[in-house]
A and B are shown apart, each in its own frame.
Chain A
Amino acid sequence: MTLELKGITKRFGTFTANDRINLKIEAGEIHCLLGENGAGKSTMMNVLYGLYQAEEGEILIDGKPQRFQGPGDAMRAGIGMVHQHFMLIPVFTVAENVLLGHERELGGLKGARKAVVELSKRFGFDIDPDALVQDLPVGVQQRVEIIKALSLDARVLVFDEPTAVLTPQETDELMNVMRQLRDDGTAIVFITHKLREVREVADRITVIRLGKIVGSAEPTASSNELASLMVGRDVSLTVDKDDAKFTDKKLEVTVLTVLDRIGQKVVNDVSFEVRGGEVLCIAGVQGNGQTELTEAIIGLEKPASGSISLSGRRLTGKSVREVLDSGVGFVPEDRKVDGLVSEFSVSENIMLDRYKGAPFVKAGTIDFATRNEFAEQAKTDYDVRAQSIHSPAGSLSGGNQQKVVLARELGRKLELFVASQPTRGLDVGSIEFVHKQIIATRDTGIPVVVVSTELDEVIGLADRIAVMYRGGIVGIVPADTDREDLGLMMAGEMPEHLKAAAEEAAA
């Protein structure tokens, strides 16, 4: 079958998310949609899937125009989707999730169970139809999503940023599944912004930028070519940095354990040291305790045991205010929720954690002149693209929001800098900027901790890499460690040949 999008235009208010998109998807092909976050890839697929209604344009299957009122219609037409945020109900079993919405077609729970077992066998998945989805690792949950789509005989399968939550090994396995599906005659649409994956698996590449299709590329194109097509200008994909120059400042975390409310050790006996002038990157698949670790450093989580100290002074037991006052800068992982107050202006956000005393507050009132001057300076220094310092932070793009957070956190004298997922959801240009700032901060001689789930970022920034898995640290290894090995560590395995290097790096 052939699926065609013709002149699809989708607007949200005055913002045009998709502008006259034309796309043709053929059976037996992996078609990559490459574009930055916010370029309009997901919107386009949600239109295709019937979740959004397009203002203009039409969808054709084998030349026949289709009207999709909702996802139900799209599914009946043979379109399946593996969503970026899984559309699975955690408290349901695998079979119940597959069954939902298609009770009659699948023949009840018994039929759903059979479908799960059969499809698992066909693709070599090991999935128990009666397991609760919430007990499954994300990689397996994704397979449940795939099975869900296949159980309805999907002939076009859309994968929306499927690798964001996977370890490198799981990503490889997913690519194999995609190839297998393609060879069975399924048309695959693979939405991503990761160049490595595109080059590995794509048969055809379409690049989308700012809601428009800007061209197509061959899978043989180099990463730099693809990146400049995606961004619209030449970009540097590597982080330029000199060797670390150590100072005697030091962050020490000693056998730290953090419990969640039901007593699970979300951070489990974690110990490490970061010296002044180096970047320690904490790698790992999301949800393995990184969030809780950084929150414990900043004082948001009370550790059950262990200690954290900065250049000899204890941070554990101090309030967040005291921790910040002792010179800790913190970029939280979710800038919209924890990093900024969206309704506040840029200038207000820039002084958010400095509401006490000089330089911005005098005799209990805000000194607007000083604050605005500081904000204007920050806006220039950090290249924040906002109409003015009085625009609400929420109206800025992700990259500019993150620059505001950085401007605030780096705007005072620091003794330690902790950045959690500093480039998540940013465009390539902003990523470049953030990385430069992190390295510049390192070069001022303070310890820097960066938590990231993006292996490329970890390898680019780190002087040493600590890999977290299920709350514990699998190992601390040098920055030049092989990607494959890091992938194994992210799944909790410590490669034998790395142990010596790890001991050296940890010391």
Chain B
Amino acid sequence: MSSEAPSTDTSKAAEGTHQPDTEVHLERVVVRKWRPAIALAALTVVAFVLTVGFGTDESTTFSFAKGSDFFSIPAVALGVRVIGIVSTLVMAAITGIAVWRTLARKRVWGWLYVVFGAFFAVDFLTWAGSGSQFSFTDLMISTVALSVPLIFGALGGVISERAGIVNIAIEAQLLSGAFSGALVASITGNTYVGLLAAMVAGMLVSFVLAAFAIKYLVEQVIVGVVLNVLVVGLTGFFYSSVLSSSPELNNPDRLPAIALPLLSKIPVIGPTLFNQTIIVYAMYVAVVVITWAMFNSTWGLRLRSLGEHPLAADTVGIKVGRWRFWNVSLAGAIAGLGGAYFTLDQTGQFTKEMTGGLGYIALAAVIFGKWHPLKATFAALLFGFARALQQTLSAAGSQVPSEVLLMLPYVITILAVTGFIGLSRAPAASGKPYAKQ
């Protein structure tokens, strides 16, 4: 916490001291939080170096139009140097504002970060794609595509942790969902049965986690990690021993994309959001319903009480073990559905370790999103965007080495978690087994 220099100047703090008697607030000195400002400054320096040190006189062409649009947005060519200079100046200005607000012990407005991020993204895209042409719409489409499993995983993580069980096993739930979805859809010839199977598979992984964590009070992180390794091993074994010798078991029909009338014809937004398979539409519903229910329904109230103070829940007659068990199972089913997206939507077949650690990124999204379903969704979208950027830039033949681009999603993850999030508060009883005499 070296960046948070406490100040002994109490003149500002004195405002908060005379409060009605029903509140216990201690006199408080405002701690300056330098972290966001430092992060902004660092990114501004990066932009500056890119422009001055590696700038080119070429331009990058962004296209937006798709054949199905109502009307087409013309492509834009942006000069690398011009955009570099303009963005760097704007970013420097925003950094200046942030520093000034921090010095004045005021909160930095949230929208400033959004503006900053947008300028940085445009600047970086223009620079990295220098001299080439690429479709912004395609970038958005792959952002959504790469975010879907992350969002499902993050929703599963949020529900589970709100119920007080740390869900490290998201990776295992995704992978088992992908595997069972492909296998069952191939055998039955019905993709929807495959979807169901994926949910059941995710749930089965949860059963194990829940049984060990709730019934036998085993350390939850250990169980989760072991489950991840176990499922990688199991699916890998069946893949090489069964699926590779009988490819007909790994050849599910892919779900059809359903273009929503009218909505799918809106430029950029339409092809990105409204020309998707049923899994993605289910995700929209899941995000909205879970977010609403978590804070407005009996289910949500009880769920949150389990993660905060299970004994209190017990004393008002809520069966803690049972509630935790079924909610962790629900979380597994949701993550399993996300796993099905790999095989039944994206690739149409299972490959070994195809989730590639995304479950862990989903876990990061849970924390980044402060255990809130909607915020976690946006966090997952950010990580999805980073991966889409990497893929798009590699495909467009960027001047940046592909190995560096491969690191991009993780660099953004680390920057996001350390630079802008800082301390986020987990549900108080998350990870703690609940035992009574």
- Neighbouring A residues of B428 by C-beta, 8 Å: 90-91
B317 touches A101 (CB 8 A): yes
Q: Mark A281-315, 1 if CB is under 8 A from B, else 0.
A: 00000000000000000000000110000000000
- Neighbouring B residues of A266 by C-beta, 8 Å: 26
B24 touches A89 (CB 8 A): no
B312 touches A87 (CB 8 A): yes
A140 touches B30 (CB 8 A): no
Q: Which residue of A lies closest to B21 (CB)?
A: A137
Q: Does A501 reach chain B (CB closer than 8 Å)?
A: no
Q: Which residue of A lies closest to B314 (CB)?
A: A71
Which residues of A83-106 have CB atoms within 8 Å of chain B's CB atoms? 83, 87-92, 96, 99-104
Q: Does A460 reach chain B (CB closer than 8 Å)?
A: no
Q: Given A135-B24, A304-B8, A471-B27, verify A91-B308 contact (CB < 8 Å).
A: yes
**Complex CA distance for A51 and B298, rounded to whole angstroms:** 23
Q: Does B107 reach chain A (CB closer than 8 Å)?
A: no
**Complex CA distance for A104 and B298, rounded to whole angstroms:** 9
B8 touches A305 (CB 8 A): yes
A100 touches B302 (CB 8 A): yes
- Neighbouring A residues of B294 by C-beta, 8 Å: none
B22 touches A52 (CB 8 A): no
A70 touches B319 (CB 8 A): yes
Number of A-B contacts (CB under 8 A): 107
Q: Does B106 reach chain A (CB closer than 8 Å)?
A: no
B437 touches A87 (CB 8 A): no
A92 touches B316 (CB 8 A): no
Quick one: which of A71, A263, A470 contacts B24, CB cutoff 8 A? A470
B315 touches A51 (CB 8 A): yes
**Complex CA distance for A137 and B24, rounded to whole angstroms:** 6
B301 touches A103 (CB 8 A): yes
Q: Mark B318-350, 1 if CB is under 8 A from A, else 0.
A: 110000000000000000000000000000000
Q: Does A128 reach chain B (CB closer than 8 Å)?
A: yes
Quick one: which of B30, B301, B311 contacts A96, CB cutoff 8 A? B301
Quick one: which of B23, B25, B27, B314 contacts A70, CB cutoff 8 A? B314
- Neighbouring A residues of B304 by C-beta, 8 Å: 89, 91-92
- Neighbouring B residues of A135 by C-beta, 8 Å: 23-25
- Neighbouring A residues of B31 by C-beta, 8 Å: 262-263
Quick one: which of A87, A102, A148, A304 contacts B311, CB cutoff 8 A? A87
Q: Which residue of B lies closest to A70 (CB)?
A: B317
Quick one: which of A100, A140, A257 contacts B316, CB cutoff 8 A? A100
Which residues of A129-154 have CB atoms within 8 Å of chain B's CB atoms? 131, 135-137, 140, 148
- Neighbouring A residues of B6 by C-beta, 8 Å: 259, 263, 304
**Complex CA distance for A81 and B23, rounded to whole angstroms:** 25
B29 touches A265 (CB 8 A): yes
Which residues of B1-56 have CB atoms within 8 Å of chain A's CB atoms? 1, 6, 8, 21-31
B318 touches A101 (CB 8 A): yes
Q: Mark B88-129, 1 if CB is under 8 A from A, else 0.
A: 000000000000000000000000000000000000000000
Q: Given A137-B24, A266-B26, verify A101-B436 contact (CB < 8 Å).
A: no
Chain B nearest CB from A489 CB (Å) reads 15
B298 touches A49 (CB 8 A): no
Quick one: which of B23, B30, B313 contacts A100, CB cutoff 8 A? B313
Q: Does B375 reach chain A (CB closer than 8 Å)?
A: no
Which residues of A109-138 have CB atoms within 8 Å of chain B's CB atoms? 126, 128, 131, 135-137
Quick one: which of A83, A88, A128 contacts B22, CB cutoff 8 A? A128
Q: Does A238 reach chain B (CB closer than 8 Å)?
A: no
Q: Which residue of B lies closest to A260 (CB)?
A: B26
Quick one: which of B30, B305, B318 contacts A92, CB cutoff 8 A? B305
Q: Given A101-B313, A268-B27, verify A137-B22 contact (CB < 8 Å).
A: yes
Q: Mark A73-85, 1 if CB is under 8 A from B, else 0.
A: 1010000010100
**Complex CA distance for A262 and B28, rounded to whole angstroms:** 8
Chain B nearest CB from A378 CB (Å) reads 34
Quick one: which of B23, B29, B308, B316 contacts A101, CB cutoff 8 A? B316
**Complex CA distance for A265 and B10, rounded to whole angstroms:** 10
Chain B nearest CB from A184 CB (Å) reads 23
Chain A nearest CB from B317 CB (Å) reads 3
Name the residue among A12, A75, A128, A263 with the largest chain B CB count within 10 angstroms. Answer: A263
B317 touches A268 (CB 8 A): no
A265 touches B27 (CB 8 A): yes
Q: Does A388 reach chain B (CB closer than 8 Å)?
A: no
Q: Does B352 reach chain A (CB closer than 8 Å)?
A: no
Chain B nearest CB from A265 CB (Å) reads 5
Q: Does A264 reach chain B (CB closer than 8 Å)?
A: yes
B29 touches A259 (CB 8 A): yes
- Neighbouring B residues of A52 by C-beta, 8 Å: 436-437
- Neighbouring B residues of A305 by C-beta, 8 Å: 8
Q: Given A265-B27, A470-B27, verify A71-B315 contact (CB < 8 Å).
A: yes
Name the residue among A12, A88, A257, A265 with the largest chain B CB count within 10 angstroms. Answer: A265
Q: Given A51-B436, A259-B6, A259-B29, verify A87-B24 contact (CB < 8 Å).
A: no
B316 touches A71 (CB 8 A): yes
Q: Mark A1-29, 1 if CB is under 8 A from B, else 0.
A: 00000000000100000000000000000
Q: Given A99-B301, A101-B318, A131-B22, verify A90-B308 contact (CB < 8 Å).
A: yes
Q: Does A65 reach chain B (CB closer than 8 Å)?
A: no
Q: Does A317 reach chain B (CB closer than 8 Å)?
A: no
Name the residue among B27, B30, B304 with the largest chain A CB count within 10 angstroms. Answer: B27
Q: Does B309 reach chain A (CB closer than 8 Å)?
A: yes
A265 touches B28 (CB 8 A): yes
- Neighbouring B residues of A49 by C-beta, 8 Å: 315
**Complex CA distance for A96 and B300, rounded to whole angstroms:** 11
- Neighbouring A residues of B312 by C-beta, 8 Å: 87-89, 100
B28 touches A89 (CB 8 A): no
A12 touches B28 (CB 8 A): no
Q: Given A100-B302, A268-B27, verify A140-B22 contact (CB < 8 Å).
A: yes
Q: Does A495 reach chain B (CB closer than 8 Å)?
A: no
Q: Does A359 reach chain B (CB closer than 8 Å)?
A: no
- Neighbouring B residues of A90 by C-beta, 8 Å: 308-309, 428
**Complex CA distance for A72 and B311, rounded to whole angstroms:** 13
B317 touches A75 (CB 8 A): yes
**Complex CA distance for A265 and B437, rounded to whole angstroms:** 39
**Complex CA distance for A155 and B304, rounded to whole angstroms:** 29
Q: Which residue of B lies closest to A134 (CB)?
A: B24
Chain A nearest CB from B319 CB (Å) reads 7
- Neighbouring A residues of B1 by C-beta, 8 Å: 261
B309 touches A89 (CB 8 A): yes
**Complex CA distance for A71 and B436, rounded to whole angstroms:** 13
Q: Mark B354-396, 1 if CB is under 8 A from A, else 0.
A: 0000000000000000000000000000000000000000000
Q: Which residue of A lies closest to B320 (CB)?
A: A70
Quick one: which of B23, B24, B298 contacts A103, CB cutoff 8 A? B298
- Neighbouring A residues of B317 by C-beta, 8 Å: 70-73, 75, 101-102
**Complex CA distance for A471 and B29, rounded to whole angstroms:** 13
- Neighbouring B residues of A75 by C-beta, 8 Å: 316-317
Which residues of B288-313 have CB atoms within 8 Å of chain A's CB atoms? 298, 301-302, 304-305, 308-309, 311-313
- Neighbouring B residues of A89 by C-beta, 8 Å: 304-305, 308-309, 312
- Neighbouring B residues of A87 by C-beta, 8 Å: 309, 311-312, 315-316
- Neighbouring A residues of B311 by C-beta, 8 Å: 87
Q: Which residue of B lies closest to A74 (CB)?
A: B317
Quick one: which of A81, A137, A262 contacts B315, CB cutoff 8 A? A81
Q: 10 closest Cβ contacts across the A-B interface? A: A72-B317, A101-B316, A263-B31, A87-B312, A103-B298, A264-B26, A87-B315, A264-B28, A89-B308, A89-B309
Provide 17 A-B residue pairs closer than 8 Å at the C-beta atoms, listed in order of the A residue: A49-B315, A70-B314, A71-B314, A72-B316, A75-B317, A87-B309, A91-B308, A92-B305, A96-B301, A100-B305, A100-B316, A101-B302, A101-B316, A101-B317, A102-B317, A470-B26, A470-B27
Q: A91-B308, A264-B28 are in contact. List 20 more A-B contacts (CB 8 A).
A: A71-B314, A72-B317, A75-B316, A81-B315, A87-B309, A87-B316, A88-B309, A89-B309, A91-B428, A96-B301, A101-B316, A101-B317, A102-B316, A104-B298, A263-B29, A264-B26, A265-B26, A265-B27, A305-B8, A470-B26
